[in-house]
Structure formats: C-alpha cells, structure tokens
Structure 1
Amino acid sequence: MTPDIIGDALIQAFAERGYRAVLESPATLIVTRPDGGSGPVDISAWRSSAGRDSRAALPGHSADFVQGFLNGLAKADEARRAQDAQRAQAVQRVEEHSEIGRMLAEEVLRVRIYTEEELSAVPGMREALVTRPLAPGLLQSVVVDYPDAIMPLNRSSIGGTPENEIFGAALRASIEKEPHYIKTDEIWDVPITHIGETHRYVGSHVHALRRHLGPAPYGALVSFPIPEYLIFHEIGSTHLFAAMEAMQGISRRHVEQGEKALTSQVYWWRAGAYEQLPEQQALSSGLVPGLVPVGIEVNHEDKSVAARTAESDELINLWMRDHS
C-alpha cells in the first residue's frame, strides 16, 4: 500500500494538539475531541493544496489546518454559549412576565408612600424599586401585599410590562380593594376631612381626590402625615390663614404621635392635567396630581403672617383677591 504522506502529516498535527484523527476516506477525516465528541472533517481542498508543495512544507500546512479547525470550534462554542445565554434570558423574561402577570391577575399590588429620605438611605435602593415622585419630598412605591408582609416590588421583576400599567393596577387596587373611611370634623372652626384606615395605602386616595371635593376653585390643602391618613381641606369660604394653620397643626400632631410618620408638610393641590383625564385613565397615565409645598408662619401677638414658599404667596394672593 502506498503511504499517505499528506494524510499522515495531518493526523500527526491533530495528535500534537490532543485530538485523535482517523482517515475515513482520502477526502474525509474523522476527528475525536478530548471531550469524546467526534465528527467528519472535509480535507479534500486542503489535500489538493498541500499536495502541490514540498514534503518539507507538510508539517506547517498541517499545523495551519489544525489551527484553523480549532479556531472554528472556538467560534462555534462561543456562538452556542451566546445562544444558550439568549435562551436563558428569554426563559427568565417569560418567567418574570408570568410572575407579574399573576400579581396583576390576583390584584396583590398596592401603592405606598415613602419619604425620599427613607428610600435614599441605602444607595441604589430607590432605583431598584418601582418608584416615582408624588410631590416634593415624597415618593410612591409599588409593593406586593402578602397576607403577613408588605414587600416592595423590584424593578427587575416587572419584565416588559409597562410601568404605568403596574402603577395603574396598584393604585386601582389600593383605592377600590382596601377598606377606608371618610370623616370630616371641625378643627378650630375649619372643616378638615380624614380618609383613613389601619393599612398603609390610604395616601393613594389623593389620585381620586376629585370624588370628595366640590368645585374647589382655589384647590385644596392636603397632607400625608402617616401612611394611614390622607388629610385635606377644600379651600373656600373659611379664612385661608385659619385653614392653613389648622392643617399644619393637625398634620404636625399626627407626625408626633403616629408610627412610621411621613411628613407634616402641607401641600397645595390644584386640578391640572391629571384631573382632566377620566379617573381610570388617569391612574395608568403616568401623571400624578399637582402638589406643591405651602405653609405660613403666624405671629398672633403681632397679628402677622409670613409665607414659607413662593407658592404660599401665590395661594394667599389668589384667595385674598376674592376675599379681601
């Protein structure tokens, strides 16, 4: 039998790289990898090219062929790893979508109000959760209402579900599915309304404040002293200074006496773009009611009043224009 110098050189080159190779035919080499996998390799074109050069050049040609073969294996392995990673990511997205879909179907999402300070205490926590600003100093966060715990919803858990849809569902459930009471009392001759309960989603009712107000041409004073209370006063015939002082006082008292207090800050609510939408559409719109901090300092001895913010001045001038 005539020795196959070209084939033997290639088999030797594979052996030097740890691969067993056997000629199945002059044009086909069966290569077995170190992991046990094997497959045919077409060497017809290489054999033709190598046969045109000297015998001394065969080892170099063979080594080049083997290196090209190994490079091809590496690229194929990399492509497989990339495909595996893509499949894993796709499975994860499906699982996440399935989980958030379950939460939406079971109506277990709620909206809780936190202070910016609380959610910024741990670096990165605010960004990791499904949150958005409600008013200066306050944030809304979507939470999962388990029977025995409240767990913030991680942004990574919502998959491709639009955030506005998540907030809309959580607000709707907080307003419609949770018990609450509405009570109006005269506090220092100022009518002040409490929306309250024992759960911590009551503040969501600010999104449905229109339900509880009349024409409100001057808006309303609103505060969120503790998670269990939303307090408001519709600005009208009651003297504005008395109303602001009463709201500040009752808000401060709730903060001093309540647990998990939020803020004694009083906000001025005015109907705006949010309220121009139908309520159910507004909940999922991504908008929030317009709330700006207001406040006054009253010196009863001097009978003087100082506005704490520019918006306070604006409100005072608006009200005094019609009531001076």
Structure 2
Amino acid sequence: MDTENTYELISNENLWIYGTGAFVLLWILVWLYRDSLEIEHVNQKYVFVTGCDSGFGNLLCRQLDRRGFRVLAGCLTEKGADDLKRATGPYLKTVLLDVTNTESIQKAVEWTKKEVGEKGLWGLVNNAGRSLPMGPSEWMKIEDFNSTLKVNMFGVIEMTMNFLPLIKQARGRVVNVASVLGRVAANGGGYCISKFAVESFSDCLRRDIHYFGIKVCIIEPGFFKTQVTSLEPIERELHRLWNQLTPEVKASYGEKYLDKYIKIQRLIMNAVCDSDLNKVTNCMEHALVAAYPRTRYSAGWDAKFAWIPLSYMPACVVDIALKVIMPRPAKSV
C-alpha cells in the first residue's frame, strides 16, 4: 500500500510538472504569435518623428519610408532636412522643429493637420533628445539641468499634448524614447532625471488614454554609438563644468579627478557602445506596425542583460558597483 501511495504521489507530481510546462510553452507560443501580428494599410498611415537630423530618428525615417509609411520628419536644421529628403522617397516630408520652442511646435501641429487631413496621425515618435552636460551633480548649475530637461522632458510632454488630438483621431500610437538610464541613475546632470520623467509620463499617459484605443510604448535603448555618446563633446563638457567650479570644490575632488573621470568615460563608451542602430529603430518600427505593440522595448544586449536586471536590484547593489568603477575624490570620507 505504501508503495502504491508513493507511485501515486510521484505520478501527481509529474502531472503538475508536465501541466505547468505545457502551460508555459503554450503561453510563449501565443505571445510570439500575437507579437508577430501586424496592422494593414501602412501606406495610408502618417507618422511624425522628432529629432531626424541624425541618429535613431534619421535612420527610423528612412526605415519607415521604405516600409511605405507617410513619414513626417521634424528636423532641427535645414541641412538635416535636405539631407534626409535626398535619401528618401517622395512621400517623406520634413518640417523644421525645435521641441523646446512652443511656437515651433504649434506650427508643426498646424502643418501636420493639413498633411494628414481626416486620417489623423497614426504615430508620434518622440525621439529628439540630448545628453549633455553629464557629470558629477555638484558640478552642475541650474541652467545645465534646464538645457537637458527642456528637450528630453518638457519637449516630449509638450509635443505629446499638442499632437494628442490628431492621435486620438487615428486611434494611433505614442512612442517615447527613454533610456536604460531612465531605470538606473548612473550619473549626474539632467539626462537620467529626464529619462526617469519620460518613463513616468508615458506610464501615466498610457493608463489615462487607453480608453480611446491609443497605445503608448516606451523604447529603452542601451548604449549605442550616436552623437549622444560621442566622446569628444562629452569630454569638452566635462572640462567646461570643471572650469566653472570654485577653487574650494576643485580642491575637494583633487587635481587628477577630472583626468580619471574622463578615462573611465572612454573605457565605458568604447567597451559598451553598440554600432548597430537598427536594434533601436527595429523596436520603434515594431511599436508602430504591430497589432499588439509592447509597453516597453529594451534595445541592445547591455540593456537586456545588464541595465534592466540591475534596475530590479536593491539600490545598494548599484551604489557599490558605481563606487568600484568611479574615481574617489581627494577629500572623500
């Protein structure tokens, strides 16, 4: 009898294991199928992209143009707009746009209304952004924070709020470009602050407007080789920040601190930055063409296997990691 009970117990345990495994496998297959479904008639849908002079925005516009979308590209400079028009087809149109300027945004909205007509705007990709200045928080002045927040935070919010009626008209999508540094605050300045804000704004917006059939997606790229991660401007800004410090603050860090800090930045950027920008633009494209887009897209191996897992760790783990990596000030405790 004991032997029979033992066999019965083992059989029941195996049944639970097989049942759970089958459920997980079925869930994965359904998710993959659902994730592969795409919308129809993309050639009738309009997408507005900001920050198209270079980098992710420029590449995305060319990618969407080849896909058949009616692309409306917001460029900061006339040169950027002209270069993009020469590299794309007749259905891509450009407009000069400064996301820090309310009048410029409103002009872009009026221009877009005329372009899309009754169809509305299927997608708004808030890609425009800046990273500098970055550095130790104590080195910053309030205008250093503002210069980044005006583009990355207030620019995203103002663009979205102004274009929202056109997006509601098409029951479309808002795609906001955040960053893995919107999950893990790894350095001072306005960049991490702004990207945390983009994450929060996107979550709030998604929950507020899903009743209207609008999807809000967040792109969280890791480190990629763009103008944002270019070493020359990063080092130039670090020197500017250092030069504006008082003699007392400089003395507290020590004469060699700046050189050590720059060396670490070079090491990190050279070791981590990925040159394949398509990993990011493919996520943006999926957010626009998928019938069931994801809420968040992590782009890059460093995002998937380092930054995102690190964001779920206790804060002390990140603190210790940064203490190991970053140089120690001369007058530290």
* TM-score greater than 0.5 by the shorter chain: no
The structure with the largest strand share of the pair is 1
- TM-score range relative to shorter protein: under 0.3
Structure with greater Cα Rg:
1
> TM (normalized to structure 1)?
0.25
Higher relative contact order (CA 8 A, sep 6+): 2
The structure with the largest helix share of the pair is 2
